[in-house]
Amino acid sequence: MDFTRLGRSGLKVSRLCLGTMNFGPETAEPDAYRIMDRALEAGINFFDTADVYGHKFTEWAKVPRDGLTEQILGRWFAKAEGRREKVVLATKVYGGMWEGPNGKGLSAYHIRRACEDSLRRLKTDHIDLYQMHHVDRDTPWDELWQAMELLVQQGKVLYVGSSNFAGWHIAQANETAARRGLLGLVSEQSLYNLTERTVELEVVPACRAYGLGILPWSPLGGGMLGGALAKAVSGRRALEWVQEGIERNRSALEEYEAFCKELGQAPGDVALAWLLHQPAVTAPIIGPRTMEHLEDALRSAQVKLDAAALKRLDEIWPGPGGEAPEAYAW
């Protein structure tokens, strides 16, 4: 496993990040333990979770939440001495966790309570990367950074990141942090894969300008880039929204899977490898439900794509045409 710095920070993380959203609702706790054991054994030292994880998609509107996925990680850490120190642990704050007007968001009130709850569930005294799960348009940046600064001073948080921010949100957040003498954001977690490249317009340039590492979520497009057509032929049906994406992109998927066959690589490996070849990307977030999914993802770290292969992938999945404003203006 290769390692790289997380954005402009000095922190070294693995080029693949283990996403844990499936732990609990889709993956039983004993299986989650085995997946985490194997990931650590394979050299993945970067684990990502969130306080809202632990429910099926159909249950996500429910509050209060019990933070089940964080609890699973906490119990796994507690099972072996020294295990926590081997992991760069990332979690998130913003989503609704308890009832009432302050049960969600990025107010100083919510951040303080949510952080304490996450630390308790994770059975740890600090969070290595505390990520804002979404922008909060109702909370001033100074209030937000005051809360984060206090957590850093207390040793409860080491680095701060964002998720699902627009490019101008990244600029606002980091300019405010700089005025306060703070390090600011070191990472941004965005929807980014061969089929979803909108972030290349402004988010990717903003991350490069401010030194943020990009952590792509849904790197396989919900499974669409993992050989979806071949799996459909074998009788394995995808989720309804993924199936709709397959029909919408059928022509490109046919070209893509044929090209992967020419390369002699599995489609999922090529999709992850493509992200690893993007200069602003630190680590795609892989979210295995099974050990097989994890083993499949581990292969991608060894796949090298030459200039011709990258050019062909751009032809199949052209993206927005580059950065703004040149992507749509002179």
The per-residue DSSP string of 283-325 comes to --EE--SSHHHHHHHHHHTT----HHHHHHHHHHS-TTSSSTT
Give me the helix-helix angle, 250-263 and 240-248, nearest 10°: 90
Residue 59 has a pLDDT of 85
Query: Domains of the chain (ranges plus CATH)?
Result: 3-316 (3.20.20.100)
Residue 157 has a pLDDT of 98
Convert the pLDDT of each residue in 239-279 to its tens digit: 676 778 888 889 999 999 999 999 999 999 999 999 999 99
Residue 201 has a pLDDT of 98
Instruction: State the 10-residue block means of pLDDT for the chain, 330 residues long.
Output: 96 98 96 98 98 89 93 97 96 96 97 98 98 97 98 98 98 98 98 97 98 97 88 58 81 96 96 96 96 94 95 96 94
What is the Cα–Cα distance from 50 to 29, expressed in whole angstroms? 16
What is the Cα–Cα distance from 160 to 178, expressed in whole angstroms? 13
What is the Cα–Cα distance from 62 to 65, expressed in whole angstroms? 7
- Active site amino acids: 53
Residue 306 has a pLDDT of 97
Judge residue 59's burial from the number of C-beta atoms within 10 Å of its C-beta, 0-12 exposed, 13-18 middle, 19 or more buried.
exposed
Amino acid present at 8: R
Chain centroid offset of residue 97 CA: 20
